Structure 1
Amino acid sequence: MFDYTFQWKQVLARLPQMLDGAVVTMEVAVLSMILGVAFAVMLTVLRLSGSKPLVAIATTWVEVARNTPALFQIYMAHFGVASFGIHFSPFTSLLIGITFNNAGYLAENFRGALKAIPETQTRAGRSLGMTQLQAFRLIIVPQMFRISFLPMSNQMVWAILMTSLGVTVGMNADLYGVTQDLNALTFRTFELFAVAGVIFYVITKIITLSARLIAARLFRY
């Protein structure tokens, strides 16, 4: 028989702690995206370099990131490298794992975007006196980011959701970790995780809608 008594006031009283955790969640997600984009551009360049060793390194990164669970990548960053005497804090391990994942997916998005850009764009830049590198940096890369913008926003949403995996390596400062700790203190499981779910939903919706508005404004032509 259903006799559960909801205690929303007890949970809402702890909302400030959960919002502090949401800030940490955003910090991890944003940092992982910034680093992920930087590494993804590097991987994209390596895959275009024509050097077999560099192409192999970049391809291996992308294949591992895209074909293994994100939890495995975070575990390797925290527990795996610890076997060799390298120890990271839970925050750093979570950041490394999500960054590794982001870079792999974004590199593949960038590769697809580059295929959508006609080779004539590079030739046009060269005809204006640009070097190959200048044409790539000033003409190709901006178009690559434009084509990849919405997929990048989707990856940002995925990065936010992946932060919840940090609890498996002892991360308790983010939204999921704070919720887990509060649950251990209050045993208000349904109420706490319902509120946490709403916060996650609101954050991801804000990002998705903001990305669409930015895309509509900047990429009208």
Structure 2
Amino acid sequence: MFSYTFQWNQALARLPRMLDGALVTMQIAILSMVIGVVLAIILTMFRRSGNRALSGFATTWVEIARNTPALFQIYMAHFGIASFGIHLSPYMSLLIGITFNNAGYLAENFRGALKAIPDTQTRAGRSLGMSEIGAFRYIILPQMLRISFLPMTNQMVWAILMTSLGVTVGMNTDLYGVTQDLNALTFRTFELFAIAAVIFYLITKAITLSARLIAARLFRY
């Protein structure tokens, strides 16, 4: 017979700590996206370079990121490289794992965006005296980022949700880790994780709504 007694007051009393954890979650997600975008642009340039070594490196990165679990990538960042004497904090391991994943997915998104940009634009830039890198930077890159803007938003949402995997490597300062610790102290499992779920939902909805507003303002034409 159902005998669980809800005690929301105990869970709500821990809300400040959970909000602090949410800030850490957002910090990791934002950092992983910023670094991931930069790496994805580099990987995209490698794949376009015509150099087989660089292209092969970029393709391998993308294939591993997109075809292995994110948990595996975080584990390798924490436990895998520890085999070589490199020991990272849970925070750094989580950041590296999510960044690796973001860069792989974003590089593939950028590759798809490039297909929507006619090659004639690069040739036009070259005819004006631009180098190939210059044409990519000033002509192709802005269009590529514009086309990829909404997929980048989806990846940001995914990065927020991926932070919950940090608990598997001992991360306890993000939203999920804080919730897990509070649950061990209070045994208010349903209440705490329900509140955490609402916080995750509000964060992701805020991101998607903000992205739509930004896109409507910046990409009106």
The TM-score with structure 1 as length reference comes to 0.99
Q: Map 1:37-116 to 2 at 5 A.
A: 37-116=37-116
The amino acid that maps onto 1:113 is A
* Residue number in structure 2 paired with 1:220: 220
- Equivalent position of 1:152 in the other structure: 152
Total equivalences in the alignment: 221
- CA shift for structure 1 position 63: 0.2
Q: State the Cα deviation string for residues 145-179 of structure 1 (Å, max 9, x = none).
A: 00000000000000000000000000000000000
Q: Distance in 2 between matches of 1:85 and 1:129?
A: 49
What percentage of aligned pairs have identical amino acids? 81
RMSD: 0.7
Q: Distance in 2 between matches of 1:190 and 1:117?
A: 49
1:28 alignment partner in structure 2: 28
- Tell me how far apart the structure 2 counterparts of residues 109 and 117 of structure 1 sit (CA, whole Å): 13
Q: Counterpart amino acid of 1:31?
A: L
Displacement after TM superposition at 1:3 (Å)? 1.6
After TM superposition, give the deviation of residue 130 of structure 1 in Å.
Answer: 2.1
Residue 123 of structure 1, CA deviation? 2.1
1:211 corresponds to 2:214: no
Look up the SS of the partner of 2:6 in the other structure: coil
Deviation per residue, 1:127-156 (Å, 9 max, x gap)? 333222211100100000000000000000
For 2:90, give the aligned amino acid.
P
Residue by residue over 1:9-32, the C-alpha shift from the partner in whole angstroms, topping out at 9 and shown as x without a partner, is 110010000000000000100000
Correspondence for 1:140? 140
Extract unaligned runs of 5+ from structure 2: none
The answer to whether 1:183 aligns with 2:183 is yes
**Residues of 2 paired with 1:114 and 1:157: CA distance?**
23
Aligned twin of 2:13: 13
**TM-score, structure 2 normalization:** 0.99
Question: Structure 1: any 5+ residue segments left out of the alignment?
Answer: none
- Cα offsets for 1:172-210 (capped at 9, x unmatched): 000000000000000000000000000000000000010
SS of aligned partner of 1:129: coil
Moved over 3 A (4+): none
Report the CA distance between 1:124 and its aligned residue: 2.2
Partners of 1:126 and 1:75 in 2: CA distance: 45
